[in-house]
Amino acid sequence: MAYFIGIVLVIITLIIIGLILRKRVYDVVDRYEAWKMDIMGRNIASQLGRIKTLNLSGETQDKFESWKERWEHILTKELPDIEEHLFDAEEAADKYRFSKAKKTLNNVEEILQTIEANIEKLLAEVDMLLESEEQSRKEMDTLNPKIKAMKKALSQNRYQYGKAERYFDNQLDTLQEKTLVYEQSTEAGDYMEAKQIVDELTIEIHELEEQFDAFPYYYKKCKHELPAQLDQLFSGLKEMKDEGYHVEHLAFEKEIRTYQERLASTVEAMEKGETKEVEATMEEMEERIKEMYELLEKEALAKSYLDTQVPSYQQAVADMNQAFLDTKSEVEQLKKAYYFEDGDMERYMALEKSIGKLTVELEELSEKLTNDKASHSELRNLVEDGYIQLEEMKENHEAFKIRIRNLRKDELEAKEKLTEMRNQLYDIQRKLKKSNVPGIPTFIWNSMETASEKNNRVIKTLEKQPLDMAEVQKALSDAATAVEQVAEQTDMMLEQAYLTEQVIQYANRYRSQYPLLAAKLAESERLFRAYEYELSLEQAAKAIEEIEPGALKRIEEYQLTAN
């Protein structure tokens, strides 16, 4: 029994599933049926009817017949076929042959989509034809007046175009002929061909307009203005040459002739309608003419500069030469008395070489001024550079003159310094004689003897011929050091001696009370009488400090105050 019930339930389930699937097929059939009816209800014929406003002949007639046949084929063949396919799908669903029904419906959907694409393409072609006709008509409404305007302007201003008038006439006639071809195409219903003609006309008229508008300016420039400028430049160049300007090296005459020939060729080409390279040629010539004038102006300024500056420059070089000759004579005399260092002689020889070189350059400049081998601008640069060199030479010459004058000055200063040091030694000796010290230590006398010997060394170097000031300065420095050392040693020795006396005198108050102190003071006095003032001071100071700490400092302060 349970087995029977299970079978029944399965059968019922299968029946329900079959009903559901059949219902889905019916729904799709209904949707495709509605889609088909929608297509059939579209007013495509009225859309095609818009073409009847155009000339139904030629290409337009062919397109209209093609679109009409395509639509009729959809209505009479393709849509009825869809009805049969939908019926087959329903019949397959009734027999539960759902796979076949689905395949049939998929085929129907593809057919409907193809029909939609064909209708869309058909309507797009219709719109494109109508839009092309409208756009072409509007563009022609603007192009025709442009052609007429150019014809009128050419007729009224023929002198501005010269022989190129024929070229522009021919071009305008050709364009006008194309407008007639356009009209013929539209009358024949060939609107796409007419659109192509309009597109070509638009480009050609725009290009011709630009050429037509620019031509008078370029023609006037190349025919009259630039040739006049070149003639004027050529005339000015000849005048400058006659007035003595060095302009041959510029080779402007040949360049001007070349430009005149190019202008003649350019004008001839323009009269034939060839204007592509005109603007570049014109700009090149104008820029070059401007450069030529600038170079000639520079040459004129340079000549004026040379006329005024060369005489003063020649005089400046002559003055420099004479000044150096005076210095040279002075050097020859000084070399007998003084030794010149290598660095000084190198500077002297470099100065002589520079002046010689500048003199040669001045001679070359004078020669170039009399011929046309160099431009005035180049010669001006030479003069300006020469002035810079002259200033540098004057500075170097003045520095050298100061240097050689310092030889005598240094000699006098060395002699004055030597006298000062000898007087200083005499003062030290007098100071020692006046001092009340028992005697003078041997090292002081030795130092004084050394200082005297070094002073004598200075005297000997000053007596040499030629005089070597470097050697003099070295001997002078050694002597000054020796004298300074003697002075310092003498002052220190006397200070120690005087301080020792003060310490001993101060310590005598404790001598009777402190036998050890008395013994040390006796030793200090012995050293004092033996001229050992430094050791004597140490002995006495140590002795008093042991009895009275800080006593030495108070004695020193008292001595400083007393002095």
- List, as one string, the DSSP characters of 377-410: HHHHHHHHHHHHHHHHHHHHHHHHHHHHHHHHHH
By the 10 Å C-beta count (0-12 exposed, 13-18 middle, 19+ buried), 207 is classed as exposed
Looking at residue 377, its pLDDT comes to: 77
Tens of pLDDT, residues 47-86? 665 665 555 556 656 665 666 667 677 667 777 766 776 6
39: its two tokens: 């297509």
Q: Which amino acid is at 170?
A: N
Quick check: pTM over 0.75? no
From residue 118, alpha-carbon distances to 61, 66, 73, 262, 281 in Å are 19, 12, 11, 63, 58
pLDDT of residue 489 exceeding 60:
yes
Q: State the CB neighbour count (10 A cutoff) for residue 261.
A: 10
Q: Which position has the higher pLDDT, 316 or 333?
A: 316
Residue 6 is predicted with a pLDDT of 62
- For 120-145, what is the mean pLDDT? 72
pLDDT at 498: 87
> Who's near 178: CB < 8 A, 6+ residues apart?
197, 200, 201, 204
Q: For residue 97, name the pLDDT band (cuts at 50, 70, 90).
A: low
Give the model's confidence band at 25: pLDDT under 50 very low, under 70 low, under 90 confident, else very high: low
Q: Which tens digits make up the pLDDT trace of 491-534?
A: 888 888 888 888 888 888 888 888 888 888 888 888 888 888 88
Instruction: Identify the band that residue 554 occupies on the pLDDT scale cut at 50, 70 and 90.
Output: confident
How far, in Å, CA of 390 to CA of 392, rounded?
A: 5
Q: What are residue 338's phi and psi, to 5 degrees?
A: -130, 150
- pLDDT recorded at residue 269: 77
With b for 16 or more beta-carbon neighbours within 10 A and e for fewer, the 319-350 pattern comes to: ebeebbeebeeebeebeeebbbeeebeebbee
pLDDT of amino acid 557 = 73
Tell me which residue of 25, 177, 175 sits closest to 94, measured CA to CA: 25
* pLDDT at residue 482 in the model: 85
- pLDDT band for position 309 (50/70/90)? confident
* pLDDT score of 77: 73
Cβ-Cβ contacts under 8 Å for 411 (sequence gap 6 or more):
338, 462, 467, 469, 472
Task: Please compute the mean of the pLDDT values over residues 438-445 and round it to a whole number.
Answer: 85
pLDDT of residue 411: 66
Rounded CA separation 257/266 (Å): 14
Query: What is the reported pLDDT for 121?
Result: 75
Give the model's confidence band at 327: pLDDT under 50 very low, under 70 low, under 90 confident, else very high: confident
Provide the pLDDT confidence category of residue 27 given band limits of 50, 70 and 90. Answer: low
Highest mean pLDDT among 49-53, 130-134, 379-383: 379-383
Cα-only R_g, the chain: 63
Measure the CA–CA gap between 563 and 558, rounded to whole angstroms: 9
Residue 329 or 206, more confident: 206
Please say if the pLDDT value at position 195 is more than 60.
yes
User: Span 326-355, mean pLDDT?
Assistant: 70
What is residue 340's DSSP assignment? P
- Which pLDDT value is given to residue 5? 61
Extents of the domains making up the chain: 2-148, 164-296, 298-405, 435-562
Percent of the chain with pLDDT over 90: 0
What pLDDT was estimated at residue 137? Answer: 75
- Residues 167, 272: contact at Cβ < 8 Å? yes
pLDDT score at 533? 84
Highest-confidence range of 49-63, 256-270, 358-372, 525-539, by mean pLDDT?
525-539
The pLDDT value recorded for residue 211 is: 79
What's the confidence (pLDDT) of residue 189?
65
Average pLDDT, the chain: 76
The answer to whether residue 392 scores a pLDDT higher than 80 is: yes
Give the contacts of 18 (CB within 8 A, at least 6 positions apart).
Answer: 96
| Phi and psi angles of residue 467, each rounded to the nearest 5 degrees, phi first | -80, 125
Top pLDDT among 228 and 55 is at 228
Query: Is residue 18 pLDDT above 80, yes or no?
Result: no
